[in-house]
Amino acid sequence: MSGQKIQTTALSIEKLSFSYGGKKALEQVNFTVKSSECTILLGPNGAGKSTLFSLITRLYDSREGKITLCGFDVKQQTQQALSKLGVVFQQTTLDMDLTVLQNLRYHTALHGLSSKLAKQRIQEELERLNMYDRRGEKIRQLNGGHKRRVEIARALLHKPSLLLLDEPTVGLDIPSRHSIVEHLHQLAVEHDLAILWATHLIDEIYPQDKIVILHQGQIKQKGTLDEVIQGSNTHSINEAFQQLTEGSKG
């Protein structure tokens, strides 16, 4: 079983454009996210990352372009597509007055899991994140890092093929950040999961990650870490990011 894994395309975005009224938020965006891979969507604030996420999750509707999730067109086959998707939004979406367990049970109900399966999956995911002992606590009592862990556990309960993370480490202390970044990278490899991770924090990138640099709604560069650095004629991802996101300002 040590052979190379066959990677499948979990997310494909083709010629996607979107505007708020007359203001372009995304313009001709094209890229794919493959299984067992972390794709880091790098961009400064206002680059269009959250808009892109809202389009993938179909909170917004795209008029131009196509989004395919595990072979399902998000617009035409919304439910099939959404069943393959796990999401961690930038803003906490947990119910503060409910316990960890109640929040997770609500999610499993929305995804139609039987109570037996739900119980088993909740235990698995919480144990993986060392949160099982805290399942009876109210979300309000947890710190920022633990809340994030619960949200990640929740996003994985229905075994999605693609995990979307919208700046999941914002506002966390350094140890919590490191542990979440490490955990997510492990998940991608061990569970054949495709991860699309929006961030503006360069230190969250691992050498094996794929990178998409988004600025002012356009993709400035994409590829492996080396390809992005070479493509921008710089020496580090930090320099590449700065050059690509500052050079075109104005």
Partner 1 sequence: MNILHYLRAMQGIIGRELWRFVRQRERFISALVRPLVWLFIFAAGFRAALGVAISPPYETYILYEVYITPGLVGMIQLFNGMQSSLSMVYDREMGSMRILMVCPLPRWFLLMSKLIAGVSVSVLQAYVFLAIAWFYEIEAPWEGYLYILPALILSGVMLGALGLLLSSFIKQLENFAGVMNFVIFPMFFMSTALYPLWKMKESSVLLHNLAHYNPFSQAVELIRFSLYGEFNQYAFFYTLIAFVLFMTIAVIGYNPSKGMMMKKG
List of residues 6+ apart from 139 with CB closer than 8 A: 94, 95, 96, 97, 98, 99, 100, 103, 147, 150
Nearest approach, Cβ of residue 151 and partner 1 (Å): 10
Q: Residue 64, interface with partner 1 (CB under 8 A)?
A: no
Site string for partner 1, 203-222 (x = CB under 8 A): --------------------
Q: Residue 105, interface with partner 1 (CB under 8 A)?
A: yes
Q: Residue 57, interface with partner 1 (CB under 8 A)?
A: yes
- Residue of 2, 4, 45, 114 that binds partner 1 (CB under 8 A): 114
Q: Residue 98, interface with partner 1 (CB under 8 A)?
A: yes
DSSP 35-92: TTEEEEEE--TTSSHHHHHHHHTTSS--SEEEEEETTEETTTSHHHHHTTEEEE-SS-
Task: Pick the closest to residue 237 from 215, 249, 222, 247 (CA basis).
Answer: 222
- Residue of 112, 123, 206, 227 that binds partner 1 (CB under 8 A): 112
Q: Residue 101, interface with partner 1 (CB under 8 A)?
A: no
The neighbouring-strand residues paired with 86 are 163
Nearest approach, Cβ of residue 60 and partner 1 (Å): 6
**C-beta neighbour count of 178 within 10 angstroms:** 14
User: Can you give the binding site for partner 1, defined by CB under 8 A?
Assistant: 20, 54, 57-61, 63, 78-83, 85, 87, 89, 91-95, 97-98, 102, 105-114
